[in-house]
């Protein structure tokens, strides 16, 4: 009996480690796939089309989950992803710019050269969006980026 308990614990630990390694691999794959320069294809804020406002946005994702966004002001920081969730999750931490010190909760989907991100920009309700939508009068920012051609 005492032999089975440690064996069962070891088996459970190995299963969990394998699951974590698979999740890490998914995260790493998505992070590598996001590296590059992106342009705004479509943007919606609070239920209103805001594409024109964000067309000049410059967005670069670098290796290791680092980003730079410029739209008047420069915002730099890092982000993490959880590709095992459905929808996939993203946490953005700003080091510099208007969002410095804030963590923004988001969901994302990556489809080839298209990256769709739904951000919750409401500091009073920091919950992660559940759907890819920007309800009227909300502070939810839904944007579809296209990879910039080199």
Mean pLDDT of 129-136: 96
The CATH number for 73's domain is 2.40.128.10
- For the chain, strand residue ranges (E) read 36-45, 48-49, 58-62, 66-71, 73-82, 88-96, 103-111, 114-120, 140-147
How far, in Å, are 40, 42, 83, 119, 147 from residue 116 at the CA level? Answer: 10, 9, 14, 10, 11
Tokens of 64: 């290791």
pLDDT digits (tens, 9 = 90+) for 16-72: 344 445 578 899 999 999 999 999 999 999 999 999 999 999 999 999 999 999 998
CB contact at 8 A, 95 and 114? no
Q: Is the pLDDT of residue 4 over 50?
A: no
Q: In which domain, by residue range, is 19 found?
A: 4-147
| Structural domains in the chain (count) | 1
Q: Is the pLDDT of residue 74 over 50?
A: yes
Angle at 41 between CA 40 and CA 45, to 5 degrees: 70
Give the mean pLDDT of the chain.
87
How far, in Å, are 2, 78, 82, 98 from residue 64 at the CA level? Answer: 44, 8, 14, 22
pTM for the whole structure? 0.83
């Amino acid at each position: 009996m005492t032999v089975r308990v440690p064996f069962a614990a070891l088996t459970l630990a190995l299963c969990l480690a394998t699951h974590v390694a698979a999740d890490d691999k998914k995260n790493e794959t998505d992070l590598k796939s996001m590296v590059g320069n992106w342009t705004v294809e479509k943007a919606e804020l609070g239920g209103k089309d805001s594409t024109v406002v964000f067309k000049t946005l410059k967005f670069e994702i670098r290796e290791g989950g680092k980003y730079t966004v410029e739209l008047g002001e420069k915002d730099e920081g890092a982000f993490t992803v959880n590709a095992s969730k459905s929808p996939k999750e993203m946490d953005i931490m700003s080091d510099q710019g208007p969002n410095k010190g804030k963590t923004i909760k988001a969901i994302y989907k990556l489809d080839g050269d298209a990256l769709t991100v739904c951000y919750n920009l409401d500091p009073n309700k920091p919950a992660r969006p559940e759907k890819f939508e920007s309800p009227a009068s909300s502070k939810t920012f839904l944007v579809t980026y296209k990879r910039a051609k080199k």
